[in-house]
Amino acid sequence: MGPRRLLSLIGKELRLLWRDPSGMALLFLMPAFLVVVVTLIQDKVTTTSVEVLLVDEDRGEVSGEIRSLFSGMDTIRLVESRNGQPLTADAARDLVAASTFQFAVLLPQGLSAKALLAAERTARANLFPGEEAVPAPAVPEILVLFDPTVHGSFRAAVKAALDQARAAIEARLLVEKSLALLPEKLSADLPPYLASLLPRPTLSARELLPQLFAEKRLLPLREQFRTAMGFIAQPTAVQQNVPAWAIFGIFFIVVPLAGSLQGERDNGTLLRLAIMPVSMATVLAGKILAYVIVCLLQFAVILLAGMYVLPLLGLPAFVPGGQPLAFALVAVAVGCAACGYGILLGTVARSYEQIAVFGPVSIVIAAALGGVMVPIYALPEFLRPLCLFSPLFWGQNGFYDLLLRQGGLAEIVPEVISLLSFSAATLLAALFAARRRRGAA
């Protein structure tokens, strides 16, 4: 093959591409848009400060120090009031249950007084092992509330921050109480006439503060998951990820569905169907039902993999829950939304190249904005409202209501309605675009 022929073939391919300017624009703009969105999201995830509700019913020395240590952490942003009013424990529980906030820390009344007394008695028991020990009082628990949809890494970050603050406060209290008892310890160990003559003995850290080398915790801490449905069990990563990524996979039915419409339009099949005694609505209904069945089969395969394959790899098995009818209803609604979007894309696209570029990239963007790739609360604030326009958000939220929040049919109604409304809106837009195209022709 000579250079001239090669150049001619290159020129031919470039001319063919240039004849589809909208496809070329998508080829360059959609990946660039994807890079911008994903970079924004990932940068926010790596630099985010998590909002944590703080209810201080103690108002003492210990609670004040916890607040101070939290305030000095870059990864934590404390919220102690709403609408100008101080938060109450019930209000914090309701906000976490409604998923308005994902984290809340409740500092109970009497925390400081009991912690100080417990530190003093613990120090005395270690420095004076021969004395009859007075039991340390039970310190009220610090309660950490989580939304069960919170991903493990974010949960661990908040827990680690609280553990860090707790360890610092415990060490300070025990050191202070032990040092306060040190003169008494010296007087007890030495005869009075020697105590004034001999240098004061040096105690090692392990002898002076053995509690620093023990596992005993001074400030008890308890985690609890809070939902409007009263569910407090800890969800696994499998329960969170299997339905989310199953929805992501279902939406890729858009590409073959839109490509099918494009091919039928190019080879004249749609034109032949239009002159037959069959309404276009019937034609679309048949196509939608066929592809919804494919979506459900795909969904079933993913769930079976979660139930039987993941345990073989050392992970917990996926548990579909005790609401099969509600579970199937959300899956059907997700399939309808995906098929509606596929038909709209197949109607408005002018070539398969446009479908191949726009379809997958738009699905990835919708997944990123809808909470599949990154939790909604980790998105930049100006991007969070956009989740309401992502059908993947509604599908994921519906499954989370069933699997993580232990809801039922009543709880998934908003999500199902939103998904079916999206499906209806895309189908109406596709019919309108098809009529305009026929009118222009």
* Exposure letters 65-77 (e unless 16+ CB within 10 A, then b): bbbebbeebeebe
pLDDT at 127: 74
pLDDT at 344: 92
pLDDT at 98: 78
Task: Output the pTM of the full model.
Answer: 0.64
138 DSSP 8-state letter:
P
317 DSSP 8-state letter:
P
Cα dihedral sign for 358, 363, 369, 373? negative
pLDDT at 97: 80
Report the C-alpha gap between 129 and 127 in whole angstroms.
6
pLDDT at 416: 94
Tell me what percent of the chain is helix, strand and coil, each rounded to the nearest 5.
65, 5, 25
Question: What domains can you pick out in the chain, each with its CATH number?
Answer: 49-225 (3.40.1710), 235-440 (no CATH)
pLDDT at 330: 94
Report the C-alpha gap between 170 and 232 in whole angstroms.
28
Residue 303 burial class via C-beta count within 10 angstroms: exposed 0-12, middle 13-18, buried 19 and up: middle
pLDDT tens across the length of the chain (441 residues): 556 665 665 665 566 556 666 655 655 665 565 555 555 555 555 445 677 888 988 888 888 888 887 777 776 788 888 888 888 888 888 888 877 888 888 888 888 888 888 888 887 777 777 666 677 777 888 888 888 777 666 677 777 777 777 777 777 777 777 777 766 666 666 566 555 555 554 444 445 555 554 545 556 666 665 555 444 445 667 777 888 888 888 898 888 888 888 887 777 666 665 566 666 667 777 788 888 888 888 888 888 888 888 888 888 888 887 788 888 999 999 999 999 999 999 888 888 878 888 888 888 888 888 888 777 776 777 777 888 889 999 998 888 888 877 778 888 999 999 999 999 999 999 888 877 776 655
